Structure 1
Amino acid sequence: MRWLRHLFSPSAHARFPAPSLDRIACAIADGERRHAGQVMFAVESDLPLAELWRGVSPRERAEHAFAVLRTWDTQANNGVLLYLLLADHAVEIVADRGLHGRIEPARWRQVCEDFGRRRREGDLEAAVLAAVAEISALLAEHFPAGPGEVRDNELPDRPQLLG
């Protein structure tokens, strides 16, 4: 069944047209003004056949994307990747080592569960926007931006369409 979902998965470009990508990028940028972290959103429509054959899980693929997109490459090790694999209806959050021990894994799982519930309600973009807002709230709680602090935007705000 998984093979069929991946073979016939709609493209990420079809699910996220340019205006949608613009709104998500704005939400990421707005959130980053409230905290000292870096957020990236990546979406992949399906896995390559070799990855399917190997049985790669959405989590493994998210960790691979985290590395390939260099989400880890921030000065404070505070990058967070929100990863969506459309064919598996899976969402994963990968947080850099600077966030470990500060934000509990259960909090990240809750964001993913909330995303899944919203996606099932039918509006994929709204689910992404809500997840970005939740991630930003968590980061603002644990890593608030300093008053008047001007930081480099170390990761692109524009969603990354993979594959």
Structure 2
Amino acid sequence: MSRLTRLLKHRLFDEADAHKALGDAALERVGARVRESETRHSGEIRVCVEAGLPLSYLWRGASARERAVAMFGKLRVWDTEANNGVLIYLLLAEHAIEIVADRGIDRHVGAQGWHHILDGMRAQFRAGHFEAGLLAAVEAVDALLVRHFALQPGQANPNELPDAPWRV
């Protein structure tokens, strides 16, 4: 895709498009699923939905992955006690999805495990099923966090990060 075409595509997508793809009720359901998930493990899951990349990213030809890594830091997903935060990032203008995981969980899952989750999300997003894709991703990340960071009976997970998805 040419630089100009990409720039126009991202500038045409705005918050109204993000709201149309994932309305308030859909985001509340995703947030509720994250909240429920975090009662079973010590990890933290953040979901970020962005309509289009900021101009500064577009000018330098930055990828969705670069933006996801930046949002991982901005949303403080790295700042968890056990280093087991996971960001699920959706860029609507490109139907791009990324997962950025902190080192605590990443050492258990690795690139292949994350790519498997991403493949399932891509199929849902291509079909326009954004909520279903995000819920499936939260389910898959939840299963990994439960496997590697399950809470013991009587143990609570202090909620270190907001559960509600971040929509930009």
Give me the TM-score of the superposition, normalised by structure 2: 0.91
Which residue of structure 1 aligns with residue 106 of structure 2?
A: 100
The CA deviation at 1:122 is: 2.7
Kindly indicate whether the alpha-carbon contact (under 8 Å) linking 2:38 and 2:157 is maintained by their aligned counterparts in 1. Answer: no
Amino acid at match of 2:152: G
State the identity %.
45
1:55-94 matches, cutoff 5 A: 55-94=61-100
Amino acid at match of 2:124: R
Kindly indicate whether the alpha-carbon contact (under 8 Å) linking 1:78 and 1:98 is maintained by their aligned counterparts in 2. Answer: yes
Unaligned stretches of 5+ in structure 1?
Answer: none
Which residue of structure 2 aligns with residue 123 of structure 1?
A: 129
Kindly indicate whether the alpha-carbon contact (under 8 Å) linking 1:78 and 1:99 is maintained by their aligned counterparts in 2. Answer: yes
Kindly indicate whether the alpha-carbon contact (under 8 Å) linking 2:39 and 2:157 is maintained by their aligned counterparts in 1. Answer: no
Q: What is the aligned counterpart of 2:6 among 2, 23, 32?
A: 2
Kindly indicate whether the alpha-carbon contact (under 8 Å) linking 1:103 and 1:142 is maintained by their aligned counterparts in 2. Answer: no
Which structure dedicates a bigger proportion of its chain to helix?
2
| Structure 1 moving runs of 4+ over 3 Å | none
Residue by residue over 1:101-141, the C-alpha shift from the partner in whole angstroms, topping out at 9 and shown as x without a partner, is 21121111111111001112231111111111011011111
Q: 2:19 and 2:126 mapped to 1: Cα distance? A: 20
Q: What is the aligned counterpart of 1:156 among 142, 159, 162?
A: 162
* SS, match of residue 142 in structure 1: helix
* SS, match of residue 152 in structure 2: coil
Equivalent residues, number: 162
Which residue of structure 2 aligns with residue 17 of structure 1?
A: 23
The CA deviation at 1:7 is: 1.9
* SS, match of residue 100 in structure 1: helix
Q: 2:82 and 2:107 mapped to 1: Cα distance? A: 15
* SS, match of residue 121 in structure 2: helix
Residue by residue over 1:28-86, the C-alpha shift from the partner in whole angstroms, topping out at 9 and shown as x without a partner, is 01111222211000111101222101001001000000011111111111110001111
Unaligned stretches of 5+ in structure 2?
Answer: none
Q: 1:100 and 1:28 mapped to 2: Cα distance? A: 19
Which residue of structure 2 aligns with residue 36 of structure 1?
A: 42
The CA deviation at 1:4 is: 2.6
